[in-house]
């Protein structure tokens, strides 16, 4: 219950901070940052991007991660990377602007399956994302799963539980009754 209350307080603080500063991506202060527009929480690059792993190592790392009270981490999809960078715009040379995190590599694993061309077409492969690609349309490339590269993890913003909604309703009802009683 305390953990849930703390999560709600953090989520509320992040949301209010984003609204107040008109930011779309906000550092949460717990090793993550939140893409408020798209409802995603990302690991900070200091946690994962300073090292490289093969696809299966990176995917396993994300699946085992328990950070900021969240245990449902996974490698991002191409669409999630595109959404993150779409909220950040692009710089003057047309390349993508980085979100508020440390980037340590050139490419980052996605969980989207890819196919290598030519004689390697039977090799297991996934797309990787390049935040500094120019033009932005060149930001995804297919790599063999045995290639070591940087990675991030992403999770959906946890939704409040039924208990949370019930608690808010009960508190609201109590406050409403006290207000009516005081007004009588």
CB of 37 closer than 8 Å to CB of 15: no
For residue 123, is pLDDT > 50?
A: yes
For residue 121, is pLDDT > 60?
A: yes
Percent of the chain at pLDDT > 70 equals 65
Decide: pTM greater than 0.75: no
Q: What is the CATH number of domain 2-183?
A: 3.10.100
For residue 96, is pLDDT > 50?
A: no
pLDDT band of 105, cuts 50, 70, 90: low
The whole-number pLDDT of residue 138 equals: 59
Give the range with max mean pLDDT: 4-13, 61-70, 84-93.
61-70
């Amino acid at each position: 219950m305390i953990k849930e209350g703390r999560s709600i307080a953090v989520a509320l603080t992040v949301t209010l901070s984003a609204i107040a500063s008109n930011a779309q991506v906000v550092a949460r202060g717990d090793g993550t940052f939140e893409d408020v527009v798209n409802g995603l929480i990302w690991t900070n690059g200091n946690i994962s991007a300073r090292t490289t792993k093969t696809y299966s190592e990176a995917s396993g790392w994300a699946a085992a991660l328990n950070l900021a009270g969240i245990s449902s981490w996974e490698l991002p999809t191409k669409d999630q990377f595109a959404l993150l960078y779409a909220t950040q715009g692009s710089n003057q040379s047309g390349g993508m602007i980085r979100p508020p995190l440390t980037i340590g590599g050139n490419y980052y694993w996605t969980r989207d399956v890819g196919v290598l061309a030519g004689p390697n077409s039977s090799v297991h492969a996934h797309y990787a994302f390049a935040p500094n690609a120019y033009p932005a349309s060149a930001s995804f490339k297919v790599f063999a799963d045995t290639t070591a590269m940087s990675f991030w993890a992403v999770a959906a913003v946890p939704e409040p539980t039924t208990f949370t909604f019930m608690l808010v309703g009960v508190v609201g009802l109590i406050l409403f009754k006290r207000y009516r009683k005081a007004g009588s």
